[in-house]
């Protein structure tokens, strides 16, 4: 019985120390889990923009702009001129959204996976605290950049679609006037990533 007490005390101390160590990681794990949720929410919000609508909008914008440029010879009213200007102003925004959309989503998915893996490593104790802090800071910075990027581009594409939808009716009407009452067949503009243009 005498020998049993020190063993129990030693076991209790070791248990306490390992618990203390695990609890030290708890705040990091919670931080990573919270960050992962925010990245996922940003992705979900970004995906509320219908990409098929953006593809169609870009095809219409591109086709009708090209048609108007080659067929319009007369001057137009101030209101129509403003509509045409707005209609043309969204071309780059629509193009960039379609060119970078999959890349933004891939980066987001990678960030979510890395946050999960890091939290898993911490739970298993397969990473020391010093490394953990360094890794957490790196992943945190990356995740925050992605969250901001998704937020900004979600807002931007919504604005571009609004401008497109507001200016479309007047532009379609003009195209019909220039084309015997019908709209031309939509072209399929090439969507090039910036790196592909060099």
Residues 6+ apart with CB under 8 A from 32: 115, 116, 118, 119, 122, 136, 139
16 within a domain of the structure (yes/no): no
198 within a domain of the structure (yes/no): no
pTM of this prediction?
0.82
Please give the Cα distance from 123 to 126 (Å, whole number). Answer: 8
Please report the pLDDT score of residue 186 as a whole number.
97
126 within a domain of the structure (yes/no): yes
19 within a domain of the structure (yes/no): no
pLDDT in tens, 42-59: 999 999 999 999 999 999
Please report the pLDDT score of residue 25 as a whole number.
79
181 within a domain of the structure (yes/no): yes
Range of the domain at 132: 35-192
23 within a domain of the structure (yes/no): no
Please give the Cα distance from 60 to 186 (Å, whole number). Answer: 6
DSSP H helices, the chain, are 4-46, 51-71, 78-89, 91-124, 129-178
> In the structure encoding, which two tokens stand for residue 57, read together?
């909008």
117 within a domain of the structure (yes/no): yes
170 within a domain of the structure (yes/no): yes
94 in helix, strand or coil? helix
Burial 69-96 (b: 16+ CB within 10 A, else e): eeeeeeeeeeebeebbebbbebbebbbb
Please give the Cα distance from 61 to 20 (Å, whole number). Answer: 61
Burial 12-22 (b: 16+ CB within 10 A, else e): eeeeeeeeeee
Please report the pLDDT score of residue 14 as a whole number.
41
Please give the Cα distance from 35 to 115 (Å, whole number). Answer: 8
For the chain, list residues with pLDDT below 70.
1-24, 194-198
8 Å CB contact between 53 and 30: no
Please report the pLDDT score of residue 10 as a whole number.
44
Give the chain's domain count.
Answer: 1
């Amino acid at each position: 019985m005498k020998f049993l007490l020190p063993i129990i005390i030693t076991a209790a101390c070791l248990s306490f120390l390992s618990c203390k160590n695990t609890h030290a990681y708890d705040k990091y794990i919670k931080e990573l889990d919270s960050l992962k949720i925010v990245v996922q929410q940003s992705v979900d919000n970004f995906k509320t923009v219908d990409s098929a609508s953006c593809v169609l909008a870009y095809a219409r914008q591109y086709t009708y702009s090209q048609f108007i440029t080659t067929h319009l010879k007369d001057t137009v009213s101030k209101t129509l001129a403003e509509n045409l200007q707005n209609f043309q102003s969204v071309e780059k925004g629509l193009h960039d959204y379609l060119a970078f959309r999959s890349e933004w989503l891939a980066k987001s998915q990678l960030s979510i996976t890395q946050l999960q893996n890091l939290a898993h490593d911490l739970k298993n104790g397969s990473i020391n605290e010093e490394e953990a802090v360094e890794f957490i800071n790196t992943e945190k910075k990356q995740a925050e950049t992605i969250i901001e990027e998704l937020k900004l581009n979600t807002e931007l594409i919504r604005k571009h679609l609004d401008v497109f939808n507001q200016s479309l009716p007047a532009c379609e009407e003009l195209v019909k006037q220039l084309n015997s009452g019908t709209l031309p067949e939509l072209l399929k503009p090439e969507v090039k990533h910036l790196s592909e243009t060099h």
